[in-house]
Amino acid sequence: MIPLYDINAVRGSSIITYAIIAINVAVFVIFELPLILTGNVLWLNEFIKQYGLVPYFVVNGLRLYTLATHMWIHASIEHIAGNMLFLHIFGDNVEYVLGKKKFLLFYLLSGLGAVVFHLASIALAPGSTLNPYLMQNPWMTPAVGASGAISGVLAAYMLFFPHAQVMTLVFLPYPLLIPVPAVAFIGFWFLYQLLMGTWSLSGVPTGVAWWAHVGGFLTGAALAYLLADRDRIKSLRLRARYVIAI
């Protein structure tokens, strides 16, 4: 399922959302896209290793700056396109509820929560060891992308606007555009991350930090109501339901 846009009466200023998107795109275009287009895989890998989050270094108190930098780096055009699409669709509504400063704080904390779950999942994997010289060692595999933080945004959106409609492109097998309630779309997305994350604990490499997605989502769910005005949420929900009903 590919979300294209949402039907939600709650719209407002989304400066932070689009600033985050702009920074991610700028980093990708300036530092990574030239390497991808020229086929310079060696330098691209070095860039990702230097600024991506390598679990081995972080747990040993090294390269702690990557706790922040990894959220702004993406491994491919498809990677950044998917992440920014989700942030574009769901971020503005959550920002409107939380306000600019709280939304930025919420976004960053969700990303850090994702890191905690990612590190824990590696530690719990079969045969996990901090030996940095093993081949295909997950402790030495850099994690990059904004998906952990965006997962928190998805959780907040689902809690704030469960009845909002997400216009979704599905293939049955031909393309079809259908409205899906946010609680169903995001709930299905989360269950898929949880299922794949559980599978990854078997030790089978998947190339995706599934538990970062789960961790970002759970962190966002925990923070959403702590940072939001509940009375405001109730009034916004009523407005959203009214517009959807029309």
The 10s digit of each residue's pLDDT in 73-99 is 999 999 999 999 999 999 999 999 999
Total count of domains within the chain: 1
Alpha carbon distance 25, 91 (integer Å): 16
Q: Show the domain range for 215.
A: 2-245
Tell me what pLDDT residue 224 has.
Answer: 95
d(CA 224, CA 105): 11
Closest CA to 177 of 185, 167, 186: 167
Residues of the chain with pLDDT under 70: 133, 135, 240-241, 243-246
Q: What is the pTM of this model?
A: 0.92
Environment class of 35 (CB within 10 Å of its CB; exposed 0-12, middle 13-18, buried 19+): middle
pLDDT value of residue 125: 82
pLDDT (0 to 100) of residue 204: 72
Looking at residue 183, its pLDDT comes to: 97
CATH for 58: 1.20.1540.10
Query: Tokens 């747990």 sit at which residue?
Result: 59
